[in-house]
């Protein structure tokens, strides 16, 4: 039994003339990774120094220019990691490290010591401003909370001017739990901090508005951000940053709407690691932009490598259905999806269009280092199109439409028999067992084709033998082409009553080893159509092998 009446519904702010719903995202924000701080502090086993260094390097390689590296005043380990990054020369010149600190004097002093020698640093200080925390944690009124922030700002300003020079220091302030704070109060406390810091348009402060705990639907956060921006005095002296968490599972949505509301900078982590349900997932948000034709400014072209590093260093796992990165997100099991993807792939190759237009796949998996092969996976719910897609994309066999139904039924029966999905290789083996390595009641012996020029059209003559149950029979026939001539010849061993229904052929490998594959559909005397496949370097031989294949199969199915 649930008890919904014990929860207080969030009261949205009044913003009747909100502007954000009519806007669209058309450029990426300034990204700031908080993997090494918010992400790391939420791990069962926080990263050790080599892991943090590897993670930091990867973040730089991806293109992050602002990286929160830790909470150096919180522990000796955190302090040492910050020092190693600086003293070990791990920080590229164009990357700014960010350090988090509470608005408390001794912690602020220690933090400034931690960043000595860095080229660029952001000192990020915070105190909680939320209604609930004021009531149950700090037991202070708004004035008392503002006093904490302003005193912190005063000391930070003083230390910044002392250390500025060796290090290019910028300042960030977070009214922690912004979304649980009366928005007018958030504006007021940030304005007081800005004034104390002396922010100017040339020397902006970063005002970070954390959705520390998601309070309601993402539109309410966007309203708060828009309201904040519209009411902040001296707005041009601040960069508005957001820091969404994911308690309601809408961290990405909240971040996207907050960008529409005017935020310019986004803090988050790779794959959404972080406290409780995590921080905003920058991979998803960045690739959402990418799917809209916007370069996110972060290089996500090798998601598998990124994921491998992330999982190894953090000990976390990326869920199979995680957007863009999960094992199953570029996989279609359902027949109708497979069919549509297959058609989309064909459409793109035929039309040569420059845009990605494949149903069910928001982006090209290859763009982020994912393979095509697992896009379509074969289980008993998959349709004929899925098996055809794998055969074509993984092995180069273009199974004709007419034959796909027959092969689809074979695949379905095999999945039902095994009670599981088939790998691409298993699918190929199934095809071979059913069409190539079949029992041969009738086999081709020696043979030759010749042409006889006769009016009105030249005719083809087949001369050779068919081995029937191990006994060789000489046969010959004349027809308007090799297949027709062969058909006529095999009627001499009683193989008649078959009607030719369809014929397709193509090359299956390139270079000197090139082979042809022929697919032939024959209607047998009882009216059922059966397909046969022949493979040979000589297309005529491939075709007559396919005829015999269809006949041999027709005796089995
Ligand atoms: O979630 C949060 O509010 C934070 C702040 C310290 C920025 O991580
Ligand atoms: Zn956070």
Ligand 2 centroid – CA 501 distance (Å): 67
Q: Evaluate: CB of 284 within 6 angstroms of ligand 1.
A: no
CA 48 to chain centre: 28
Q: Domain coordinates of the chain in residue numbers?
A: 28-314, 335-435, 442-554
Bin 429: left if φ > 0, else alpha if -120 < ψ < 50, else beta: alpha
Q: Domain 442-554, what fold?
A: Double Stranded RNA Binding Domain (3.30.160)
Any atom of ligand 1 within 6 Å of the Cβ of 243: yes
Question: Which tokens in the block code for residue 139?
Answer: 């037991």
What secondary structure does DSSP assign to 439-456, as a single string?
--SEEEEEEEEEEE--SS
Burial class (CB in 10 A: 0-12, 13-18, 19+), 177: buried
Yes or no: say if 261 and 232 are a contact pair by the CB < 8 Å rule.
no
CA nearest 159: which of 232, 74, 73, 219? 73
Question: Which residue owns the Cα nearest ligand 1 atom 8?
Answer: 38
pLDDT at position 132 is 94
Tens digits of pLDDT across the chain (557 residues): 999 999 999 999 999 999 999 999 999 999 999 999 999 999 999 999 999 999 999 999 999 999 999 999 999 999 999 999 999 999 999 999 999 999 999 999 999 999 999 999 999 999 999 999 999 998 999 999 999 999 999 999 999 999 988 899 999 999 999 999 999 999 999 999 999 999 999 999 999 999 999 999 999 999 999 999 999 999 999 999 999 999 999 999 999 999 999 999 999 999 999 999 999 999 999 999 999 999 999 999 999 999 999 999 999 999 999 999 999 999 888 878 888 988 998 899 899 999 999 999 999 999 999 975 556 778 877 778 889 988 998 899 999 999 999 999 999 999 999 999 898 899 999 999 999 999 999 999 999 999 887 667 779 999 999 999 999 999 999 999 999 999 999 999 999 889 999 999 999 975 567 899 999 999 998 999 999 999 999 999 999 999 999 999 999 87
Tell which residue, 133, 224, 137, 148, has the closest CA to residue 187. Answer: 224
- The whole-angstrom separation of Cα 53 and Cα 81 is 8
- Position 430 scores a pLDDT of 97
* CB contact at 8 A, 521 and 530: yes
From residue 178, alpha-carbon distances to 17, 243, 257, 372 in Å are 21, 10, 16, 43
- Nearest-CA residue for ligand 1 atom 5 is 176
173 lines ligand 1 (CB under 6 A): no
Does the beta carbon of 214 lie inside 6 Å of ligand 1?
A: no
Give the neighbor-by-neighbor strand order of the sheet with 516-523: 499-507, 516-523, 529-536
The answer to whether the CB of 384 falls within 8 A of the CB of 408 is: yes
For residue 54 the two structure tokens come to 């590897």
- For 292-320, give one letter per residue: b (16+ CB within 10 A) or e: eeeebbbebeebeebbebbeebbebebee
What local confidence, expressed as pLDDT, does residue 375 receive?
Answer: 66
Joined together, the tokens standing for residue 26 give 């058309």
Distance from chain centroid for Cα 387? 23
pLDDT at 458: 78
Same fold, 28-314 and 442-554: no
Q: pTM of the full predicted structure? A: 0.82
Residue with tokens 């900078």: 265
Whole-number Å distance, alpha carbon 173 to ligand 2 midpoint, is 13
State whether CATH 3.20.20.70 applies to domain 28-314: yes
Cα 275 to ligand 2 centroid, rounded to whole Å: 7
Length of the chain: 557
Helix (H, G, I), strand (E, B) or coil at 69: strand
* Cα→Cα distances 239→97, 201, 222, Å: 17, 9, 16
Q: Measured from the CA of 267, which atom of ligand 1 is nearest?
A: 7
In this structure, what is the dihedral angle of CA atoms 281, 287, 290, 294, given to the nearest 10 degrees?
10
Residue 17 bridge partners (DSSP) = none
Q: Ligand 2 centroid vs 39 CA: distance in angstroms?
A: 8
- Give the pair of three-digit tokens for residue 310: 């992330």
Any ligand 1 atom below 6 A from CB of 38: yes
* Tokens describing residue 147: 């006093």
pLDDT on residue 227: 98
Atom of ligand 1 nearest to the CA of 128: 3
| Ligand 1 centroid, distance to 220 Cα (angstroms) | 18
Which residues pair with residue 279 across a beta bridge?
245
Structure tokens at 32: 């700031």
């Amino acid at each position: 039994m649930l008890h919904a009446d014990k929860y207080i519904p969030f009261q949205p702010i009044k913003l009747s003339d909100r502007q954000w719903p009519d806007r669209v995202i058309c450029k990426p924000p300034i990204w700031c990774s908080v993997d090494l701080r918010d992400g790391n502090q939420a791990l069962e086993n926080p990263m050790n120094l080599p892991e943090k260094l590897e993670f930091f390097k990867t973040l730089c390689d991806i293109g992050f220019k602002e990286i929160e590296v830790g909470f150096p005043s919180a522990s000796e380990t955190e302090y040492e990691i910050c020092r190693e990054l600086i003293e070990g020369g791990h920080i590229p010149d164009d990357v700014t490290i960010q350090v988090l600190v509470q608005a408390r004097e001794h912690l602020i002093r220690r933090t400034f010591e931690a960043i000595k020698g860095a080229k660029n640093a952001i000192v990020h200080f915070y105190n909680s401003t939320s209604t609930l925390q004021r009531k149950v944690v700090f037991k202070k009124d708004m004035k008392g909370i503002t006093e904490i922030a302003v005193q912190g700002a005063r000391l930070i300003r003083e230390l910044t001017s002392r250390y500025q020079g060796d290090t290019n220091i910028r300042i960030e302030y977070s009214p922690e739990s912004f979304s649980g704070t009366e928005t007018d109060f958030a504006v007021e406390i940030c304005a007081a901090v800005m004034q104390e810091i002396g922010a100017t348009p040339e020397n902006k402060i970063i005002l970070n508005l954390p959705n520390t705990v998601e309070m309601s639907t993402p539109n309410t956060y966007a309203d708060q951000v828009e309201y904040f921006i519209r009411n902040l005095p001296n707005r041009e002296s601040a960069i508005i940053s957001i820091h969404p968490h994911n308690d309601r599972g809408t961290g990405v949505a909240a971040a996207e709407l907050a960008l529409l509301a005017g935020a310019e900078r986004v803090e988050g982590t790779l794959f959404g690691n972080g406290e409780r349900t995590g921080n905003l997932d920058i991979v998803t948000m960045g690739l959402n932009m990418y799917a809209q034709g916007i370069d996110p400014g972060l290089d996500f072209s090798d998601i598998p490598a990124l994921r491998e590093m992330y999982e190894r260093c953090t000990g976390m796992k990326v869920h199979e259905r995680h957007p863009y990165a999960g094992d199953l997100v570029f996989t279609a099991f359902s027949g109708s999806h497979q069919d549509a993807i297959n058609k989309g792939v064909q459409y793109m190759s035929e039309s040569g269009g420059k845009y990605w237009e494949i149903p069910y796949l928001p982006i090209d998996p290859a763009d982020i280092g994912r393979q095509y092969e697992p896009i379509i996976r074969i289980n008993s719910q998959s349709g004929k199109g899925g098996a055809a897609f794998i055969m074509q994309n993984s092995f180069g066999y273009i199974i004709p439409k007419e034959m796909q139904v027959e092969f689809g039924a074979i695949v379905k029966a095999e999945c039902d028999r095994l009670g599981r999905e088939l790998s691409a290789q298993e699918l190929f083996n199934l095809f071979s067992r059913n069409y190539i390595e079949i029992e041969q009641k009738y086999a081709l012996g020696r043979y030759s084709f010749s042409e006889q020029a006769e009016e009105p059209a030249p005719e083809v003559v087949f001369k050779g033998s068919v081995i029937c149950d191990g006994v060789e029979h000489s046969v010959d026939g004349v027809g308007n082409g090799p297949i027709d001539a062969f058909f006529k010849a095999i009627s001499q061993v009683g193989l008649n009553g078959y009607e030719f229904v369809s014929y397709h052929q193509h090359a299956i490998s390139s270079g000197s080893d090139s082979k042809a594959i022929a697919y032939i559909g024959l209607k047998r005397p009882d009216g059922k159509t059966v397909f046969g496949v022949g493979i040979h370097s000589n297309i005529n031989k491939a075709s007559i092998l396919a005829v015999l294949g269809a006949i041999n199969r027709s005796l089995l199915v």
